[in-house]
């Protein structure tokens, strides 16, 4: 069955409606409009931010829900995503990042937003074969920098090593800067410095 957004989903259309959590993460109204980020007040995803995922053809292939705090008060996971088979071959922000000659690969939506327009997100810690093919294509003419969360450094190293076997210019940020858990917790200045200092991986 095709993926559809929750019936209660409402896109953010004004700066006043943008959730304070998004403002904390540096997600501007322009970014909300670009990626159709919204919110559910009621229903299955009540009180959750909704982040749609579109493929290069502009088709909705998945969406993620984010509890708008760093921890859920009931101990539930803060991220949920009803991934479809089509989403496995999709990179968040692919269409915009492809305009740049240097791309940063991260795990999550908000990580990519924090890094900037030149970032793509896997929407997972691990990279599937269809996503690896997309990254390999991008990496033929662009620098690729892998920046995974601090809790899975081995996964980031493995991805960088795989890409280095097929792409000429692959780098790895060993951990998010400032000993922080993930890129979304870093400042844009910290992220830029970390990318500039990333270690080149040679297959």
Residue 91's nearest CA partner among 115, 77, 112, 67 is 112
Regarding predicted confidence, which is higher, 76 or 53? Answer: 53
Residue 30's nearest CA partner among 122, 96, 101 is 96
How many angstroms separate the Cα of 25 from the Cα of each of 3, 186, 196? 27, 9, 22
pLDDT on residue 180: 65
Regarding predicted confidence, which is higher, 97 or 178? Answer: 97
Share of the chain above pLDDT 70, in %: 89
Per-residue pLDDT at 13 exceeds 80: yes
pLDDT on residue 1: 63
Kindly list the domain boundaries of the chain, sorted by start residue: 9-88, 91-200
pLDDT, average across residues 70-79: 67
CATH of 91-200, one of 3.90.1200.10, 3.20.20.80, 3.30.429.10, 3.40.1360.10: 3.40.1360.10
pLDDT, average across residues 61-68: 86
Helical spans, DSSP H, in the chain:
20-24, 29-35, 94-97, 109-115, 129-138, 153-164, 188-196
Q: Which CATH superfamily is domain 9-88 in?
A: DNA primase, catalytic core, N-terminal domain (3.90.980.10)
The answer to which of 48-57, 78-87, 161-170 has the lowest mean pLDDT is 78-87
Q: What is the pLDDT of residues 87-140, one digit of tens each?
A: 668 899 999 999 999 999 999 888 898 899 999 998 888 898 999 999 999 999
Highest average pLDDT, of 79-88, 113-122, 157-166, comes from 157-166
Per-residue pLDDT at 141 exceeds 90: yes
pLDDT tier at 189 (50, 70, 90 boundaries)? Answer: confident
pLDDT, average across residues 40-62: 90
CA distance linking residue 167 with residue 157, whole number of Å: 15
């Amino acid at each position: 069955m095709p993926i559809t957004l929750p019936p209660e989903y409402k896109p953010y259309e004004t700066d006043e409606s943008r959730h304070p959590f998004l403002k904390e993460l540096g997600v501007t109204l322009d970014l909300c409009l670009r990626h159709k980020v919204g919110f559910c007040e009621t229903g299955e995803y009540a009180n959750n931010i909704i982040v749609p995922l579109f493929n290069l053809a502009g088709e909705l292939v998945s969406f993620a829900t984010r509890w708008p705090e760093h921890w859920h008060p009931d101990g539930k996971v803060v991220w949920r995503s009803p991934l479809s088979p089509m989403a496995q071959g999709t990179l968040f922000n692919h269409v915009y990042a492809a305009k740049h000659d240097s791309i940063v690969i991260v795990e999550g939506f908000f990580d990519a937003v924090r890094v900037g327009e030149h970032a793509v997100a896997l929407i997972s810690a691990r990279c599937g074969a269809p996503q690896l093919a997309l990254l390999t294509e991008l990496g033929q003419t662009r620098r690729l920098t892998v920046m995974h969360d601090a809790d899975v450094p081995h996964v980031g190293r493995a991805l960088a090593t795989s890409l280095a076997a097929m792409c000429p210019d692959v780098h790895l940020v060993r951990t998010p800067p400032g000993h922080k858990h993930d890129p979304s917790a870093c400042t844009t200045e910290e992220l830029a410095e970390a990318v500039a200092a990333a270690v080149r991986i040679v297959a």
